[in-house]
Chains A and B, each alone.
Chain A
Amino acid sequence: MVAAEVETEQIQLIKGDITLLEVDALVFYAQPNLELGSGFGTAISIRGGPAVKKELEGLGPIETGEAIVTGAGNLKASYIVHAVGPRFLEENTEEKLRTTILNTLKCAEEAGAKSIAFPPMGSGFYGIPLDLCSRLLVELVSGYLKTSANLTQAIVCVQDSREYEPFRKELSNVTGWRRG
């Protein structure tokens, strides 16, 4: 595990399965219609049970850049932030991803979360380049944690070495970074 300290706050980079983390809020990169679908959605449906899907009924669709909070059913997390970010090389990807990450952080904080876990937002299936995703996520999360009253810890949870490396590089540029 590599950890990065941002002044008094902390961002951790870990390899693992985000749906198994014991955090206040975990982020799910959602579709506009808020259906859980496959991928992490499969894990949330099966491990979390039917409560999440039920809570989402009637809440969608939402616009790209927006986020909403639900409970996390039987998962170890308390909340899930369903964040709808840009998908598949659409126009103004960077601006939209920036908005999505900031709204996600606000949403989690408003729900009372002290800790939050992010996947590599939109990379992989939705085709957001890893370098863009890692640069924005580290920049925006570290900036947000500096001024946030309640949200004090963030985790970036990646799956493999391919995803790990760009985040490690970005985190190594953050003040106070240390190898954990």
Chain B
Amino acid sequence: MKKSTAEDSRSHKAQVVVDRLGEKLNRQIVGSLVACVHCGLCTDSCHYVLSNPGDPTYAPAYKADRIRKIFKRHYDWTGRVFPWLVGAETIMTDEELEELKDIAFGKCTNCRRCSLNCPMGVDFATVNRMTRGLLVSVGIMPEGVATVSKDQWEIGNQMGVLKEDYLETLEWMEEELQDELDDPSARIPVDKRDCAVVYSINPREAKYDPRTIGDAAKIFHAAGEDWTMPSDGWDMTNFGLFSGDDELGGAVARHLFDRVQELGGKKLVISECGHGYRSTRCEAPNWAKYDVPFEMESSVETMLRYVKEGRIKLDKTRNSEPVTFHDSCNLARSCGMTEEPRELLNLVCTDFREMYPNREENYCCTGGGGAMSMSEYTPRRLKSGKIKAEQLKATGAKVVVTSCHNCVDGLTDVIRHYELDMKVTQLVNLVAEALVIEKPARAPAVAEELPLAGRRIVVADDEPDQLLYLATVMEDYGATVYQAATGDEALELARKEKPDLVTLDLSMPGRPVTEIFELLRSDSELEGLKICLITGRPEMRELIYQRMEIPPDGYLDKPLSEDDLLRGVRKVLELSHQEG
């Protein structure tokens, strides 16, 4: 009879993780797993440690040891011969895997600052990414990671933007652009064949920040570029980088690369996104085992090239507020792109101030590595942003520019949480603002109607300043506005005034806004009413969309500029198509 051993009682998932660890080992991983001498130099490079000085569990060496001990026990001879000496330990239970999940996903953004500062060349971020991949393969991952990964696997983009919504957004941005330039030749061409440039974007742009698409289109138009956007395979982000799932990484990239080839595109331009650029340009050809036959470049390089080639002209005085630049970890540390954005910034604004430390030594925005999708770790993430907040504040800048969509969201949360007087924007927005475009001469309109004229809107927000701001902007553009300080007041006003639109702040006291939303939706006398949610907490979006049977007609993130508010409200009211 076979003697039972501890190995026999290992859970199935733990066994799969142990087995697959062996399959994942390569020279880079093994080097990082054996080379650590626990000197501690990585400790002070981590923003989690710097913001939580009393908690040693955030130290990169400690975190790496959680996976290192399994490697030592199963795949390194030292751990097999004298495990007590080298700290080798196996892993037996699903609970231990959950603990590993908490470290791999909740205590590291894979920003690689510790990797850069390790004298032994230990790349902890790579080990951590592998650990994430092992956990994902057995279904152990934060809910948000599962949601986003499944969207990217099955819908083809990581925010589940359906094709019809994406195309509608492009049409809307095209109409806005034609309006702005008063030029019907300003277009966003879709699926145009044999173009010089195929432009790919982050789905965040289509879902939450379409202004960046419009601004990019404006720049392509001004440069006279022969360009297009694909109707499918347009997402250049890759959640495989964050989840550690190389299969997903390869599938996403192949989809994008195939599409560029089908369209006969000469060059793939990747919009301003750190992880998108790193994934698509640097990692994905390996994940997908794809020999990419076309050029790829970041839109930062594209915009800079247009200026240098004299294809666009900029008036930097239009961006006169003090500006600083946040280097994305993926662009700067992992891809070495540090000077191009600075060169462009100096061409596009009048007061650029460095942040210290900067370039590859910059601190993480706190939103990298998929952290923005893991709402269970939000308090931890915001606490770890203390060092970033101090760094931002020391610049004295009013605007922080970054070439990464994760950083936009991460920094926005840090700025809000630490109450800094700053806003976040991207280079594409600054370049579009500074573009000098000579408009064709037209006869002035006799009487121009205000864009929200005749619209009746209930605005609900419990913060008086915010309520006044939203109401004033909408009134200035011609709307009749009814103000409500609570959800119940909004409900009462909606039933009484029968408005075209209700905007609801998500965090009002009293009855949950989800309940108010359901009541508005189910009221037969309010059929056709549009509802737009306004939130300062982006992590709440998913909860709302999952819980509500009929999703809201739109959503906007605070803080809201006048332009964004007007554009968002017009979109919800579908005014762009009727009147654009």
Contacts and interface: CB of A to CB of B under 8 A. Distances in A.
Question: Chain B binding site: helix, strand, loop or mixed by DSSP?
Answer: helix
B258 interface: yes
B251 A47 contact: no
Contact of B163 (A17, A87, A88, A159): A17
A88 B150 contact: no
B258 A38 contact: no
A38 B143 CA distance: 11
B243 to A, nearest CB: 10
Contacts of A176: none
A50 B546 CA distance: 11
Contacts of B162: 42-43, 46-47
A38 B550 CA distance: 15
A41 to B, nearest CB: 8
Interface string B151-190: 1011110001011000000000000000000000000000
B255 A53 contact: no
B449 interface: no
Interface residues of A, number: 27
Contact of A38 (B137, B148, B254, B549): B148
A50 B550 CA distance: 6
A42 B16 contact: no
A124 B151 contact: no
B138 A89 contact: yes
A61 interface: no
A55 to B, nearest CB: 12
B139 A88 contact: yes
A87 B13 CA distance: 12
A54 B549 contact: yes
Contact of B151 (A39, A50, A160): A39
Contacts, number: 72
Contacts of B147: 37-38
A56 to B, nearest CB: 12
A84 to B, nearest CB: 14
A162 interface: yes
Question: Chain A binding site: helix, strand, loop or mixed by DSSP?
Answer: loop
A63 interface: no
Contact of A125 (B12, B149, B546, B551): B149
B154 A39 contact: yes
Contact of B254 (A41, A49, A127, A162): A162
Contacts of B137: 88-89, 127
A134 B549 CA distance: 34
Nearest to A16: B232
Contact of A124 (B139, B154, B163): B154
A88 B138 contact: yes
B254 A125 contact: no
A88 B255 CA distance: 23
B135 to A, nearest CB: 10
Contacts of A124: 153-154, 248, 251
Contacts of A87: 139
Closest 6 pairs (CB-CB, A-B)? A39-B154, A88-B139, A50-B549, A39-B150, A42-B160, A124-B153
Given A125-B146, A161-B254, 11 more contacts: A17-B163, A39-B154, A39-B155, A50-B549, A89-B16, A89-B137, A124-B153, A124-B248, A125-B150, A127-B247, A161-B258
29 contacts: A17-B163, A38-B150, A38-B151, A38-B154, A38-B155, A38-B160, A39-B150, A39-B151, A39-B155, A39-B160, A40-B155, A41-B150, A42-B155, A42-B160, A42-B162, A47-B162, A50-B549, A88-B137, A88-B139, A89-B137, A124-B153, A124-B251, A125-B149, A125-B153, A159-B255, A160-B251, A160-B258, A162-B254, A162-B255
